[in-house]
Every structure is written in structure tokens, then in C-alpha cells.
Amino acid sequence: MSRNQRRAMIERTDCPVSLVRQCELLLLARSSVYYQPVATSDENLHLMRLIDQQYLRTPFYGSRRMTVVLQNLGYRVNRKRVQRLMRLMGIEAIYPKPNTSKSTPGHRIYPYLLRGLAVERVNQVWSIDITYVPMRQGFLYLVALIDWHSRYVLSWRLSNTLDVSFCLEALQEALKSFGTPEIFNSDQGSQFTSAAFTGVLLEHGVAISMDGRGRCLDNVFVERLWRSVKYEEVYLKAYSDGLEAYRGIGAYLQFFNRQRPHQSLDYQTPEAVYRAGSLKACLEAASTESVPNS
């Protein structure tokens, strides 16, 4: 159970158990219960949206160059502030870094399995990623799973934190609805390297692949999805709250899957390609089973 979920179990009124004892039972620090988060200022939200837009165009820009971009636009910001906002957004410059074997302590890093691999069928490779979604007041994080061959969005979730729980929910929904892939690819984010997340994949016999740090093209199809989602939906609107964001993004992803033709798919929709590929796989499996043993 995540810290946020345990914090939500705290009863502040009409409870015979004191707050101190509740914190002890739930293994929570008392300071985390008494702390009241401060809302992000309108100015910072505006800067974060500008950073997000620039990041889509130039994901190799770090805090130094991002600071220069904002200063050239007339904003009085320093690098320290930009660094803090980029950390809050969960983004960092994409470029080869030294000591790339370092990751979250205790989390196993799996090798990248897709180099030179021809992806020729549905459910051969799935990918997952998280992106930042600006709103009129505040922001959310969006996670999505995509089938590489068809570009079909298998599942997605929105969250106001970068906790692993919403990623797990998306993974479990995809596995329940579409079966299991042969290979599952992600970056080395702490959500995807956690034992809770990789454990589900291992239980289903899925081969785990992880991008090298600073290699944006290793998960290129999800990056293209984010660009489409943001420029064709998110940036055109100013969601007033999480419910409006959920409805808007949900409607767009339905459009993306079922109506939006893709040039790389010979102008077919992702759903059409995925369904055709699934049917072909079922027919081939049935044909193999019907052949008598010699």
C-alpha cells in the first residue's frame, strides 16, 4: 500500500484512536499527516506549461537551456527555479549520462531487448510511459500503455502524484483486457522498476525490457503519442479540474484509437490494425491446434 493510500486512511475526527497511534499503526511519519500542501502558484503553472511545450520540441534541453529559453521570452527566472519545476513535472533532459547504471536503490534494471528487433505483430511488444498534463489550476500525470505494432492505446490512468499505484492499475487493466505481451518495455523510472510493478509482469511470464537512460528513441512510439495528445487535445483546452481532464483525454484517446488514421499504418486506425492482428493470431493458433500429431 502506498504512502498516499495509508495517509487517506487517517481519521482526524470522531476516532477513538489518537493521530499519534494511527500514524504508528500505518507506519507514517506524523509530519506527513500534519503537513498541508501549498498550491502551486499561477505563475509557476504558466512556466511549467511553457517548459512542457518546449520539452516536446527539444527533449535534450536541460535546466540551463530551458532557463535561457524562458529568459528570452521575457520571464525573470533563474536555473534553480527551473530545476525545481522540472523535478516537479517529472522530466529531465535526454542525453547520454555517466554512471547510468545507478538507479533507485534496490530496484533491478533489466536490459533493453528491442535493439534490432522487427516488431511484426500485435502483442509482441507493449510500452508504457508517464507525462505531465497542465490544467487551469494545478496539473496531473498521465500514464498510458501502447501496443507497438498497432499504436493502439491499451489502457491509461490519470493521477495527481507519481505514485506507482496508478501505473499498476493501468497495467492490470491491459493484461485483463488484452492478454499478455511477449515483451514489455519501459524507461528506468522508479514506478516501472519497482518490485510491485515488475512482479506483475514476471507472474505473467512477460520478458521485461528497459530503455537505456537518456535514450528517448527507445520508447519512440509513446513519445509520439504524447505529442499527439498534447497538441491535438491538452494544449487546445484549459481543464478546470481532474474530471474535465479525465473526460477530455478519454474522449481524445477513443478518437485516437478508433477514428484517427495513421500514415505509418497505411492510414488505418490503431484499433483496426490491432483487431485484425488479434484475429490473425487466433486463427493461426486454432490452425496449429487442429493439425494432428504425426
CATH number of the domain residue 161 falls in: 3.30.420.10
Give the pLDDT confidence score for residue 202 in this predicted structure: 96
98 pLDDT above the threshold of 50: no
Provide the whole-model pTM.
0.77
Q: What local confidence, expressed as pLDDT, does residue 97 receive?
A: 47
Residues 82 and 67: beta-carbon distance below 8 Å? yes
Which residue segment(s) compose the domain that 68 sits in? 42-89
Are 137 and 23 within one domain? no
Q: Domain for residue 218, yes or no?
A: yes
Most confident of the ranges 16-30, 85-99, 168-182, 222-236: 168-182
For 284, counting Cβ atoms within 10 Å of its Cβ (0-12 exposed, 13-18 middle, 19+ buried), the class is exposed
Number of domains, the chain? 3
pLDDT at 104 over 60: no
Q: Is residue 115 part of a domain?
A: no
Whether residues 177 and 206 share a domain: the answer is yes
Residue 173 in any domain: the answer is yes
State how far the Cα of 114 lies from the Cα of 208, in Å rounded to an integer.
10
70 shares a domain with 21: no
Residue 102 lies in a domain: no
Considering the domain boundaries, does residue 292 fall inside one? no
pLDDT value at position 60? Answer: 85
Tell me: do 69 and 158 sit in the same domain: no
Whether residues 55 and 134 share a domain: the answer is no
* Residues 216 and 154 reside in one and the same domain: yes
Percent pLDDT > 70 in the chain is 84
Among 19-23, 27-31, 103-107, 126-130, whose mean pLDDT is lowest?
103-107
Residue 272 has pLDDT above 50, yes or no: yes
Residue 216 forms part of a structural domain:
yes
More confident: 286 or 189 = 189
> Tens of pLDDT along 185-240?
998 888 999 999 999 999 999 999 998 654 555 568 888 899 999 999 999 988 99
156/223 same-domain check: yes
Looking at the structure, do residues 140 and 237 belong to the same domain, yes or no?
Answer: yes
Q: Does residue 249 sit within a domain?
A: yes
Residues 46 and 19 in one domain: no
Instruction: Give 140-185 pLDDT, tens digit per residue.
Output: 999 999 999 999 999 999 999 888 999 999 999 999 999 999 999 9
Residue 12 sits in the same domain as residue 56? no
Confirm whether 53 is domain-assigned.
yes
- % of the chain at pLDDT higher than 90: 58
- In the numeric block, which cell numbers belong to residue 221? 512510439
Q: Are residues 135 and 163 in the same domain?
A: yes
Residues 210 and 132 in one domain: yes
**Cα 137 to the center of its chain, rounded Å:** 21
Q: Confirm if 154 and 145 have CB atoms less than 8 A apart.
A: yes
